[in-house]
């Protein structure tokens, strides 16, 4: 036991373990792979579901739906790698934070993307995304000056509106999807409720990977049950190729002004909200706050990667809070772990068969799994709002913003006499109107003496 060989083995094991908790550490593949897989399991459903929802709203064919999902995985891998390994690292022009982050397609844009996909097409979403990416880039360059306009009260109100606006999508999916001839059938509701019960049980009683991958496990079990009900159609899988390189400009790019405004505003607030995830990652995994350079580089990369992602057909990305939570709980920050996770996403994005299988998941299964995600987004908004006193001023801001945002969009003909661009920006999704109302009221209404404005610390992916 006291031999140099034994001491060397002990030291080697200790150093190898320490490498997991060091960003520059080099853990073995066997050590890193399970932890990488844990990150992928926690985010992959959230990554592909927005693409599935948008494909359904746009009425895409099975083959185009597969391409949209492929692009989602491919772009998520690419943007994750840029955050891990910044371009021009160490300079004032760095692109990327250099922090252990996982990036993926964001639910925050889903309500607005659904509205644009229904009225226009995917190309219009991607054009608006390019504009949004430029907006995020500018936010990154001027983050110190812009940040003060988005305290937790404002970001919380917007996140709250996002969660509320997603509920009809989840309920329609639980019922089988509005395009399904069996919409509302008891079989759809049974499968959806079983999935919801599994996800809820694992979230509260599961441990380790069972808790972290609760949504994925719920979908797998629900998928198997759906097969026995005859709900799964494998026709899109049989014709899918094994390997396919993402196709630039497959969906095209279109710039429609009102769509650009709607998506651009969301990019601005999501860029601000990303500060929360960067801060939670460094405080949870590195016991420090992020530097100004890390924040600036991370948000600049967020903007540029979304411009590039739009060319490949990838929908808007964002930092993933569930993966930030894993970092905070495990303290594992080795870049190698995150590089392998990005590699898994990249490989999945190059395999159309994998993406085709995802398109066969029945809507009732997705609805049962995602309604809990949407509920958590809503509660995140409430938690952010309540970080500031709920005095008369603040409740007025939140109440009026939500009332106008939700009210105008739910009253279908409320803007019927206005130009089409007004309806696109303000009448299709409650998020934009709620955000504008909250920001304006926060600037105009007098603040109580001695009040302080704190930066946002949480976000919704």
pLDDT of 386 strictly over 60: yes
Over residues 23-38, the mean pLDDT reads 84
The predicted-structure confidence for 147-159, as pLDDT tens digits, reads as follows 777 788 887 888 7
- d(CA 309, CA 79) in angstroms, rounded, equals 8
pLDDT band at 450 (very low <50, low <70, confident <90, very high): low
pLDDT band at 13 (very low <50, low <70, confident <90, very high): very low
pLDDT at 190: 94
Taking only Cα atoms into account, the Rg of the chain, rounded to an integer number of angstroms, comes to: 22
pLDDT band at 452 (very low <50, low <70, confident <90, very high): low
pLDDT at 6: 41
pLDDT at 366: 84
Over residues 210-232, the mean pLDDT reads 85
pLDDT of 374 strictly over 90: no
Over residues 27-41, the mean pLDDT reads 83
Q: Which residues of 246-265 are buried (b: 16+ CB within 10 A; e: fewer)?
A: beeebbebbebebbbbbbbb
pLDDT band at 1 (very low <50, low <70, confident <90, very high): very low
- d(CA 56, CA 61) in angstroms, rounded, equals 9
Over residues 230-236, the mean pLDDT reads 81
pLDDT at 12: 45
Contact by Cβ (8 Å): 202, 217: yes
Domain edges within the chain: 28-444
pLDDT at 277: 78
pLDDT at 14: 45
Over residues 33-53, the mean pLDDT reads 84
Q: Whose CA is closest to 460, among 435, 439, 423?
A: 435
Contact by Cβ (8 Å): 238, 357: no
Predicted TM-score (pTM) of this structure: 0.75
The predicted-structure confidence for 51-103, as pLDDT tens digits, reads as follows 989 998 999 988 898 899 899 999 999 999 999 999 887 777 789 999 999 99
- d(CA 242, CA 223) in angstroms, rounded, equals 22
Q: What are residue 317's phi and psi, to 5 degrees?
A: -105, 170
pLDDT of 9 strictly over 50: no
Mean pLDDT of the chain: 83
Dihedral angle sign, alpha carbons of residues 323, 325, 329, 334: positive
422 Cβ contact partners less than 8 Å away, ≥ 6 residues apart: 258, 415
Three-state DSSP class for residue 41: helix
The predicted-structure confidence for 96-137, as pLDDT tens digits, reads as follows 999 999 999 988 898 889 989 998 999 999 999 999 999 999
Q: Whose CA is closest to 301, among 143, 450, 97, 131?
A: 97
Among 141-155, 219-233, 348-362, top mean pLDDT goes to 219-233
pLDDT band at 8 (very low <50, low <70, confident <90, very high): very low
- d(CA 110, CA 98) in angstroms, rounded, equals 28
Give percent of the chain with pLDDT exceeding 70.
92
The token duo for 48 is 């592909």
Instruction: Using alpha carbons only, give the angle 219, 72, 435 rounded to the nearest 5 degrees.
Output: 90
pLDDT at 58: 92
Contact by Cβ (8 Å): 151, 394: no
Q: Which residues of 190-229 are buried (b: 16+ CB within 10 A; e: fewer)?
A: ebbebbbebbbebbeebeebeebbbbbbbbbbbbebbeee
The predicted-structure confidence for 241-264, as pLDDT tens digits, reads as follows 777 888 899 999 999 999 999 899
Among 14-18, 90-94, 160-164, top mean pLDDT goes to 160-164
pLDDT at 456: 45
Give percent of the chain with pLDDT exceeding 90.
31
Over residues 189-208, the mean pLDDT reads 90
Residue 345 burial (CB count, 10 A): 29
Q: Which residues of 391-402 are buried (b: 16+ CB within 10 A; e: fewer)?
A: eebbeebbebbb
Q: Whose CA is closest to 338, among 323, 318, 316?
A: 323
Task: Report DSSP letters for 263-332, one per residue.
Answer: HHHHHHHHHHHHHHHHHHHHHHHTSSPPPHHHHHHHHHHHHHHHHHHHHTTPPPEEE-HHHHHHHHHH--
- d(CA 314, CA 339) in angstroms, rounded, equals 20
Q: What are residue 314's phi and psi, to 5 degrees?
A: -85, 135
Over residues 406-430, the mean pLDDT reads 78
Q: How far is CA 95 from CA 64, 81, 89, 433, in A?
A: 31, 11, 7, 31
CA–chain centroid gap for 219, Å, is 18
pLDDT band at 412 (very low <50, low <70, confident <90, very high): low
pLDDT at 451: 58
Dihedral angle sign, alpha carbons of residues 386, 390, 394, 399: positive
pLDDT at 212: 67
pLDDT of 238 strictly over 50: yes
pLDDT at 293: 87
pLDDT of 428 strictly over 80: no
Over residues 263-276, the mean pLDDT reads 84
Pick the more confident residue, 429 or 57: 57
């Amino acid at each position: 036991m006291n031999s140099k060989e034994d001491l060397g083995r002990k030291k080697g094991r200790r150093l190898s373990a320490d490498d997991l908790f060091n960003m520059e550490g080099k853990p073995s593949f066997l050590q890193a792979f399970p932890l990488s897989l844990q990150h992928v399991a926690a985010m992959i459903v959230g990554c592909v579901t927005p693409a599935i929802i948008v494909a359904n709203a746009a009425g895409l064919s099975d083959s185009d739906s597969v391409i949209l999902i492929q692009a989602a995985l491919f772009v998520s891998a690419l943007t994750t790698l840029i955050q891990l390994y910044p371009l021009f690292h160490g300079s004032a022009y760095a692109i990327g934070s250099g922090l252990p982050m996982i990036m993926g397609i964001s639910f925050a844009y889903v309500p607005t993307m659904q509205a644009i996909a229904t009225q226009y097409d995917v190309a219009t979403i991607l054009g608006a995304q390019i504009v949004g990416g430029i907006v995020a880039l500018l936010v990154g360059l001027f983050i110190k000056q812009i940040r003060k306009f988005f305290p937790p009260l404002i970001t919380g109100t917007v996140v709250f509106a996002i969660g509320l606006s997603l509920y009809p999508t989840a309920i329609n999916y639980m019922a089988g999807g509005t395009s399904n001839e069996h919409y509302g059938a008891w079989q759809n509701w049974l499968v959806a409720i079983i999935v919801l019960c599994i996800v809820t049980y694992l979230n509260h009683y599961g441990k380790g990977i069972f808790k972290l991958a609760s949504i994925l496990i719920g979908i797998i079990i629900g998928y198997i049950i759906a097969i026995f009900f005859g709900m799964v159609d494998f026709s899109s899988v049989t014709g899918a190729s094994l390997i396919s390189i993402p196709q630039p400009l497959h969906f095209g790019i279109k710039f429609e002004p009102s769509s650009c405004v709607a998506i651009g505003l969301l990019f601005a607030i999501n860029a601000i909200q990303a500060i929360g995830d960067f801060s939670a990652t460094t405080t949870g995994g590195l016991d420090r706050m992020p530097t100004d350079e890390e924040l600036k580089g991370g948000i600049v990369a967020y903007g540029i990667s979304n411009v590039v992602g739009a060319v490949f057909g990838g929908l808007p990305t964002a930092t993933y809070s569930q993966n930030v939570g894993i970092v905070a709980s495990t303290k594992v920050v080795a870049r190698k772990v995150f590089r392998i996770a990005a590699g898994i996403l990249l490989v999945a994005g190059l395999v159309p068969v994998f993406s085709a299988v995802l398109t066969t998941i029945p809507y009732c299964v997705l609805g049962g799994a995602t309604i809990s995600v949407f509920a958590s987004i809503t509660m995140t908004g409430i938690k952010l709002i309540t970080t500031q006193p709920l005095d008369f001023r603040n409740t007025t801001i939140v109440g009026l913003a939500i009332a106008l945002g939700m009210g105008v969009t739910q009253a279908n003909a409320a803007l019927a006499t206005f130009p089409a661009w007004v309806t696109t920006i303000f009448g299709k999704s409650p998020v934009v109107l709620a955000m504008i109302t909250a920001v304006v009221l926060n600037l105009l209404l007098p603040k109580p003496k001695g009040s302080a404005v704190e930066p946002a610390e949480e976000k919704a992916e």
